[in-house]
């Protein structure tokens, strides 16, 4: 199933509000990645990103940085993946955890598919085991 960007965006905006995170949507250069700041509890998203299909996962990723208290000036979505202990990997895992409830809501477990989730939100392939675990955990509740 393809999820409309507006529904996913609105869902994430609600999560950001719950965590008191300000969100700014800006028209920037198509190669300017989104960023976040824990200090200012804010996220800046690029409406003109050259791969618009990635925006929802980027948004969840940036929210995750702020939720986890990742300190530093600004974290960028496209920083290098440097292993499971990296800040960027942990933000990607956090993004998956933010999006799983949206993806699974009102859906029977037999209809949920981790590959479809990854395709719908353009989740990096190295997170496939995390996606599967998080889907199982969601339905175990």
CA 140, 119, 125 angle in degrees (round to 5)? 80
| Entry pTM | 0.90
**φ, ψ dihedrals at 81, nearest 5°:** -80, 120
In tens, the pLDDT along 25-37 reads 999 999 999 999 9
Name residue 46's beta-bridge partners.
26
Least confident of 10-14, 18-22, 80-84, 107-111: 80-84
Please provide the distance, in angstroms rounded to a whole number, between the alpha carbons at the two ends of the chain. 23
């Amino acid at each position: 199933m393809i999820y409309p960007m507006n529904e996913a965006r609105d869902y994430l905006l609600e999560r950001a509000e719950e965590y008191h995170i300000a969100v700014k949507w800006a028209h920037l250069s198509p190669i300017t990645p989104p960023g976040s700041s824990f200090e200012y509890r804010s996220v800046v998203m690029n409406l003109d990103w050259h791969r618009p299909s990635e925006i929802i996962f980027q948004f969840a990723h940036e929210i995750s940085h702020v939720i986890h208290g990742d300190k530093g000036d600004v974290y960028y979505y496209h920083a290098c993946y440097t292993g499971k202990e990296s800040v960027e990997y942990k933000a990607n895992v956090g993004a998956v955890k933010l999006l799983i409830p949206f993806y699974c809501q009102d859906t029977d477990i037999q209809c949920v598919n981790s590959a479809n989730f990854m395709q719908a939100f353009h989740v990096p392939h190295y997170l496939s085991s995390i996606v599967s675990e998080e889907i199982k955990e969601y339905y175990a509740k």
